[in-house]
Amino acid sequence: MSDTHSNTAAYVRDTMIPQKAPPTGQVGAVRWLTENLFSGPVNTILTLLGVAAVYFLFVHLGPWFQNSIWNANSLAECREILDGASGACWGVIKDRWHQLLFGFYPQYTDPAIISALTGVDLATAKGWGDASVEAEKGFGVVFRYWRPSLTFILMVAALVPVLFDAIPRKALWFSAAFPFLAFWLLWGGSIWFPVFAMMGFAVGYIAFIALQRISSLAATVGAVLAPVIWWFFLAEPIGDAVASAIPISLVPIQSHDFGGFMISIIIGVTGIALSLPIGILLALGRQSDMPLVKWICVGFIEFIRGVPLITLLFTASLLLNYFLPPGTNFDIVLRVIIMVTLFAAAYMAEVIRGGFAALPRGQYEAADALGLDYWKSQRLILLPQVLKISIPGIVNTFIGLFKDTTLVVFIGILDPIGLSSAIRADSNWNGIFMELYAFIALCFFIFCFGMSRYSQYLEGKLKTDHH
């Protein structure tokens, strides 16, 4: 090799090679299809079966949805319009949607309040129907069912501070007061009954602060006994005296008028809100070193988990009155809420216990090394991690609880499923079922899918192990 050539040859490239376009199968939609739908023989077969199933549903259900009838007052009228063609008769939803949502809850309650809001004097109107038509021009369903509609709006406002930490913490005071306000709006009666019931918790807090100087045991006992004494002996006479001096009330509504999705939301949301703290306490009790507390919690959890929910609902409906003093009027909805809450709490306790089992032992040792007592170590170190680990199981239990509210139909409470049977018993809609069940399924899907999406959002927000 000549010296000239050896001096001009470079061993390291001093210019970059121009970037080449990637292969067609490695970019865009082709790559996505290859990786997700046709990555192997099994995946390819499943993809083709899925496409065939979607095509089958589209061919058979497409015309049914395409020929939908909304403006019909009976199934016979729908069939007359369709003239032998296949089509959905959504007229039943348009005709009975208020019944599916609110059951037999009275419309246009509290005429004085309605007159103040709308200017329509229902007392002097020519007819109730004329007044309602005139008032509905500006208010619609919110006017007709203003109490449950307002309760639902306030429920959303009360849940926002609980679910999202971006909201100011002071808003939690409204969340704490909402259950009492919702009870008054839905059931009516004197406003002082829920007010003085809510004051029982304030009495318990005051007793806890006052007795804390003596001992923590005395403070705990006082915090439990003080509200009980207030509710059973003082709240009613004081409330009656205040109600006679300052009468503020709504028209009372009986529980047998409740129904539809309103009763499902009442039972579901109340059960969800109460079952989580009770489940946490049961999980802590099951791990307690005190034998009596542990045996009670274990016995309760295993008994409840070994009995079907429908059995507990029948117990609440039929047998519970035998264990109460004669003449006691224990509201059926309240009985169902108690049983559903206890049932969900037992399953929640096992979910929380699984979270404790998944927690590394070093976290317990770290809490002991910091010199924290039992409750501080649970509140500051252990429970936050356990709840984060248990989010999927907790939300799964919530979704199951909300769907299980349909079982109340077996004890005479007309939830959406029960109302669908009542609607089909009408001669105008006798024989229709697909449209009713499709509407009910869609409503349940919206609620359950919303809970699932929020759990995924919460998992991503609390995820701390990513890099």
Taken in order 299, 303, 309, 315, is the CA torsion positive or negative? negative
How much is the CA Rg of the chain, to the nearest whole Å? Answer: 30
Q: Token digits for 213?
A: 């100087």
- Rounded to whole angstroms, how far apart are CA atoms 370 and 198? 37
Contact (CB, 8 A) for 357 and 335:
no
Q: What single letter denotes the amino acid at residue 332?
A: I
C-alpha distance from residue 145 to each of 51, 81, 99, 112 (Å): 45, 32, 11, 15
Predicted local confidence at residue 214, as pLDDT: 79
What contacts 184, CB < 8 A, 6 or more positions away? 191, 193, 194, 250
pLDDT of residue 48: 92
Backbone angles phi, psi at 244, to 5 degrees: -70, -30
Tokens of 211: 């007795």
Do residues 115 and 122 touch, judged by C-beta distance below 8 A?
yes
In degrees rounded to 5, what are phi and psi of residue 325? -60, 150
Closest to 275 measured CA to CA, from 333, 344, 175, 347: 344
Q: List, as one string, the DSSP characters of 91-116.
A: HHHHHHHHHHHHTTPPSS--HHHHHH
User: CA-CA distances (angstroms) from residue 154 to 1, 114, 139, 162, 383?
Assistant: 91, 19, 18, 13, 30
pLDDT tens digits, residue range 308-328?
999 888 888 877 777 766 766
Phi, psi of 250 (to 5 degrees): -120, 160
Any idea which fold 253-467 has?
MetI-like fold (1.10.3720)
CA atoms within 13 A on the CB side of 290: 6
What pLDDT is attached to residue 122? Answer: 58
Structure tokens at 190: 């004197």
Task: List, for the chain, all residue ranges whose pLDDT scores fall below the cut of 50.
Answer: 1-2, 125-129, 131, 133-139, 467
Q: What is the pLDDT of residue 128?
A: 45
pLDDT at 361: 83
Q: What ranges make up the beta strands (E) of 109-204?
A: 189-190
In the chain, where are the structural domains located?
26-64, 253-467
Question: How far apart (Å, rounded) are the C-alpha atoms in residues 429 and 91?
Answer: 10
Contacts of 464 (CB under 8 A, 6+ apart): none
* Tens digit of each residue's pLDDT (9 = 90 or more) over 4-35: 555 555 667 777 778 777 776 666 677 888 77
Nearest to residue 90, comparing CAs of 66, 56, 54? 66
Q: Kindly report the pTM of this predicted structure.
A: 0.83
* Cα–Cα distance for residue pair 100/107, rounded to 1 Å: 14
Cα–Cα dist 399/280, whole Å = 18
**What pLDDT score does 138 carry?**
44
Helix, strand, or coil (residue 22): coil
CA 298, 300, 303, 305 dihedral sign is: negative
Q: E strand or H helix at 192, and its extent?
A: helix 192-211
Q: Look up tokens 């909304």; give the residue.
A: 70
* Alpha-carbon gap, residue 365 to 391, rounded angstroms: 24
Using DSSP's 3-state secondary structure scheme, residue 249 falls into strand
Q: What is the pLDDT of residue 273?
A: 92
